[in-house]
Structure 1
Amino acid sequence: MIAVQVESLRKSYQVGEGVLNALAGVSFKIHKGEVVAVVGESGSGKSTLLHILGTLDSPTSGKILIDGKNPFEKKDKSVSTFRNLHIGFVFQHNNLLPEFNALENTMMPGLIAGFSEKKVREKAKVLLDKVGLAKRESHFPSQLSGGEQQRVAIARSLINDPILLLADEPSGNLDSKNASHIHALFKEINLSLKSTVLVVTHNKEFAASLPRRISLRDGLILSDEQSS
């Protein structure tokens, strides 16, 4: 089944008197349960693509379908609701709320969605255990290492069972040891939860270890490769 369908996606920005084409007509499909790396030099369109897939930005033309639904056909409030319910995010900067502990940070999207606090709490505990932080759930971000903070961010991204998990340079702020742990964790999550994952990364070793790599250049797909 198709989790994500991108059709002739374009995004242009007015820059002075000229136009910058960040995406110049991108099309691809991602099946449910796939894990895909998006690679390319700075300015290739990677972040723009991720922001549109995450409904944080809208396309100039073309469309995206997530689980067969076009989120941009909805009103603004419905787009944000769709995002919270169906898309998980892991950013380079984990964006944890410093006044809440690991468990509370993990629970946040579920509470915003209006789910039962009891059920959200139970699920958050399960997810923190899955990312290896069962004994750290009462710790605040300032009491956690960079790698642990990113693990909390991953757990948080999964709390609403997203159709699509998006990660933007998830190990970019980590040393090589912690980065390796985070890379392994994404693969474990993909296998155990059958999550559909799209990762934007500059880490060539991580990208090469994933089963599919979409390479962008100048807003276009340069290659779309499957591992043999």
Structure 2
Amino acid sequence: MLAVKVENLKKIYNFGEQNLNALNDVSFQVNKGEIVAIIGESGSGKSTLLHILGTLDSPTSGNILIDGKNPFDKNDKNVSSFRNLHIGFIFQHNNLLPEFNALENIIMPGLIAGFPEKKVRTKAEVLLESVGLSKRKNHFPSQLSGGEQQRVAIARALINDPVLILADEPSGNLDSKNAMIIHEVFKEINNKFGSTVLIVTHNTEFADALPRRIRLRDGMIISDDRNNS
């Protein structure tokens, strides 16, 4: 079954009399449970693609289906609701709320979505264990290392059982040891929860270790490679 279907996606930014073609006729599909690296040089369109898939930006033309639904068929309020229920985000800067502890940060999207607090809290505990941070649940972001903060962000992204996890350079701010830990966590959650994960990364070692890599250049897909297994 398909988690993501992208057809003839274009994104044009207008700067006065100049136009920038950030994405140019991009088409691909991602099956449920796949983990895919999105790679390419700076300015190739990777982050633009991720932001549109995450409904943080809208396409100029083309079609997107996430779990068979077009999120842009709705008004802005419903797009926000779709995003919270169906898409999980992990950014380079983890965006944890400093006034809440690790467990509370993970719980927050579930409460916003209207799920019962007891159910959300129980699931958050399970997710914290999955990322190896059960003993740190009462620690605030300032009391956690960069790698631990990013693991909390990964758990938070999973709290609403999203169809799609989007990660934008999730290990970009980490040293090599913590980056390796984060990379393993992504593979583990993909295996354990069957999460569909798209990861923008400059880390070629990590990308090469994943089963599929989509490479962009100048807003176009120039290769879509799978490891032989």
- After TM superposition, the score normalised by the length of structure 2 is 0.99
Match status 1:162 vs 2:162: yes
Unaligned runs of 5+ in 2: none
Match status 1:60 vs 2:53: no
Name the counterpart of 1:88.
88
Alpha-carbon deviation of 1:184? 0.4
Name the counterpart of 1:193.
193
- 2:152 alignment partner AA: V
How is 1:6-21 mapped onto 2 (pairs within 5 angstroms)?
Answer: 6-21=6-21
Task: Show CA shifts across 1:166-193 (max 9, x none).
Answer: 0000000000000000000000000111
Alpha-carbon separation, structure 2, partners of 1:194 and 1:101? 27
Task: Show CA shifts across 1:133-157 (max 9, x none).
Answer: 0000000000000000000000000
Name the counterpart of 1:97.
97
Name the counterpart of 2:120.
120
Name the counterpart of 1:24.
24
Name the counterpart of 1:223.
223
Alpha-carbon deviation of 1:16? 2.9
Alpha-carbon separation, structure 2, partners of 1:181 and 1:37? 17
Alpha-carbon deviation of 1:197? 0.3
Alpha-carbon separation, structure 1, partners of 2:223 and 2:114? 41
Between Structure 1 and Structure 2, how many residues are aligned?
228
Match status 1:76 vs 2:76: yes
How is 1:119-138 mapped onto 2 (pairs within 5 angstroms)?
Answer: 119-138=119-138
Alpha-carbon separation, structure 2, partners of 1:120 and 1:34? 25
- After TM superposition, the score normalised by the length of structure 1 is 0.99
- 2:187 alignment partner AA: K
Alpha-carbon separation, structure 1, partners of 2:195 and 2:113? 20
Moved more, 8-17 or 214-223: 8-17
Alpha-carbon separation, structure 2, partners of 1:151 and 1:67? 26
- 2:19 alignment partner AA: V
Unaligned runs of 5+ in 1: none
Name the counterpart of 2:139.
139
Alpha-carbon deviation of 1:17? 1.2
Match status 1:205 vs 2:196: no
Alpha-carbon separation, structure 2, partners of 1:15 and 1:49? 19
Alpha-carbon separation, structure 1, partners of 2:22 and 2:57? 12
Alpha-carbon deviation of 1:63? 1.0
Alpha-carbon deviation of 1:15? 1.8
Identity of aligned residues (%): 76
SS at match of 2:43: coil
Task: Show CA shifts across 1:20-58 (max 9, x none).
Answer: 000011000000000000000000000000000000000
Alpha-carbon deviation of 1:90? 0.3
Name the counterpart of 1:42.
42
SS at match of 2:104: helix
Alpha-carbon separation, structure 1, partners of 2:192 and 2:156? 16
SS at match of 2:172: coil
